[in-house]
Amino acid sequence: MTTPDLFAGLIAKLPDDAERITALRQTLHAHAHRYYVLDEPSVPDAEYDRLFRELQALEARYPELMSPDSPTQRVGGQALEQFAPVRHAVPMLSIRTETDTQASGAENFDARIRRELALTDGDASVVYVAEPKFDGLAMSLRYEHGTLVQAATRGDGETGEDVTQNIRTIGQIPLKLPADAPPVLEVRGEVYMRRDDFETLNERQRQKIAAGIKGEKTFVNPRNAAAGAVRQLDPAIAGQRPLSFFAYGLGEVTPASAGGPEFSSHFDLLQTLKIWGFPVSSLIGRAQGATELVAYYEAIGKQRDALGFDIDGVVYKVDSLALQQRLGFVSREPRWAVAHKFPAQEMLTTVLAIDVQVGRTGKLTPVAKLAPVFVGGVTVTNATLHNEDEARRKDVRVGDTVIVRRAGDVIPEVVSVVLPSIPLASATTTAATPDGEPLPMQPQRGVLFAMPKTCPVCASVALREEGEADYRCTGGLFCSAQRKQAMLHFAQRRAVEVEGLGDKLVDQLVDAGIVHTLPDLYRLGLTALANLDRMADKSALNLLDALQKSKQTTLPRFLFGLGIRHVGEATAKELARHFGKLDAVMDATETQLLEVADVGPIVAKSLRTFFDQPHNREVVEQLRACGVTWPEGEPAARTPTPLSGVTFVLTGTLPTLEREAAKALIEAAGGKVAGSVSKKTSYVVAGAEAGSKLDKALALGVPVLDEAGLLALLQGDPPPPQV
């Protein structure tokens, strides 16, 4: 199979349809239990949906084999024993899924509704409410006389779990309603976790794990984390998990005659819920007919990856409540609603190999080579494993079945390994569960991934710095995988500066095999350049002139242009000032390098590693041989400067000083200008329209100066008061 199906592949071996139906039901029940009850989904939603549709088709073909305990006849999931059961007064049914991820999916729904209502082409368009399909945990909130008395999960649709105490910790959910609310009101909605809150939670979990706290784990996705928080037995722990809520419907409501409002449309009841204090998504809107449904689907699809929360499609509902009642229900689903899915962002496939790619900056990244799988709207054959630690933590090995995820333009990644731990009636077994259920045989797996010790492209040493997650190739000026980045960095304005040498031209020179290393730039001739696409003789002459001009540079610019890791402009200036000559820098020991202002152990080790590579020294010597030169002299006398050891961050627009001018004044006084704010920042200099850097400075208690304060400090005056 091109796309392996760990569970259904085994099922497909069953020759008899009756046995296949039984195995499908068993598998789907197991998956549903993992998803709804344990909050540990074992396969992507798309895989579950595919197996579910297969079972539906078989049951439609053999109605005599229909069973009331089939997954197609219930919502899925069951109440956990540790929570009190709640019988829903109005069942929490699921919505039919439209898996056609094209515009025709919306058109099909509209056509079906019009047929059910016996509408002709001459009749008006049906009005719908369109809303995002939130990826969270369905919740029913019961209010009696305006007070929240109970919160219950969906469960199996008929009976859920009482999680009232945990739901009370969600600040968005009102505990008391206005006086005009009906005596009994059940609000249906979704408990979810925002993506930023999810990342914050997982970072906290990683810190606990690093601290050796037992029983802690990171969460796979926001839905998992939200469901786990809702089902915490300790409300105090649940309160520490950042949960949110969106309301999207009603369950039991007392009639208007008993004091409740009388609604005529679904949209109107949502607006009333908003007035009563419930959060209702601003993305919900009305749509007339198929054309507007398609437009909504496409618009939300474009926003999907930029939203603060996960969605996997949109939901269409007939707006008129009278028409909803007329359309009614079929089996477990309302006829008047449908969930229109987006292309699946997670799918199953097999790892064929694990390669290591070398990035433009020398970063080594393990990449899983996959059996082709259609996910996120494209066919995926590669997925990143990020780094060695992640690959080993996820325990990804060649031959494994894995869940691969692709969202928007994000590089596909392996989410997790799927081991065959769910019992199947068709599996050949060697063991059984305590209840006697068979377990499938565990296949022998490949070896655990380990990063190679040398670069797979140039064979230079691959090193992992202390405190870093990534390995990097040390052959920066020599490694062919890094040559484009090395040339662009070398030619930039703040380095050696070769005017006119940009991305497109470097791509042409490297891809055509004309330039292999930096010295090759200075060996270019007019003929080779003029033969390139869109390169006229005049442009070629201009570039040759720029290359000739760039040969006269300074030692700080040249050092910065070499692209040595952790060596920025300020550090390059300090190295040049301290040693005076390039050879002295190249031959300095780590101990000697540590004597330089602005050079710590990490920078010293990086410099020593770079110049210990013979091919890097060879490139430097070839550049010198090509005529690249700079003034050299004796080390500068070390005199105290007013701002030695003081670090600044600039943000916003200053009244009279340009950013570069302010930076030059600070560096001339011995200070350093950094790009980001941290606890080590001495001052933040803020001008008009200062952004997040100012916010972070205030949060960390870093002193903030305006332009006048900076100038006073440069003149040696005492630090002025904070802005």
Give the strands of the sheet with 137-144, arranged side by side. Answer: 147-153, 137-144, 184-192, 244-253
Contact 141, 151 (CB under 8 A): yes
Strand-pairing partners, residue 338, are 316
**Cα 3 to the center of its chain, rounded Å:** 24
Place of tokens 């791509």: 507
Active site residue 133: yes
CA separation, residue 196 to residues 203, 281, 418 (Å): 11, 18, 27
Q: Are 101 and 117 in contact (CB under 8 A)?
A: no
Q: How many CB atoms lie within 10 A of CB 271?
A: 13
Question: Distance between CA atoms of 516 and 521, rounded to whole angstroms?
Answer: 9
- Outline where DSSP puts E strands in 52-114: 85-87, 97-98
Block residue for tokens 């004309």: 514
Given the residues 133, 341, 573, 672, select the one marked as catalytic. 133
> Is 149 strand, coil or helix?
strand
Given strand 285-288, what is the order of strands in its sheet? 97-98, 337-341, 311-318, 127-134, 285-288
Biggest CA pair distance of the chain: 96
- Are 257 and 185 in contact, with CB atoms under 8 Å apart? no
Instruction: Write the DSSP symbol of residue 79.
Output: -
How big is the chain by its Cα radius of gyration, in Å? 32
| Nearest of 336, 414, 424 to residue 370 by alpha carbon | 414
Q: Are 488 and 515 in contact (CB under 8 A)?
A: no
In single-letter form, the type of residue at position 263 comes to F
Task: Compute the distance between CA of residue 585 and CA of residue 568 in angstroms, rounded to an integer.
Answer: 15
Residues 352, 398 contacting (CB under 8 angstroms) = yes
* Residues identified as active-site: 133
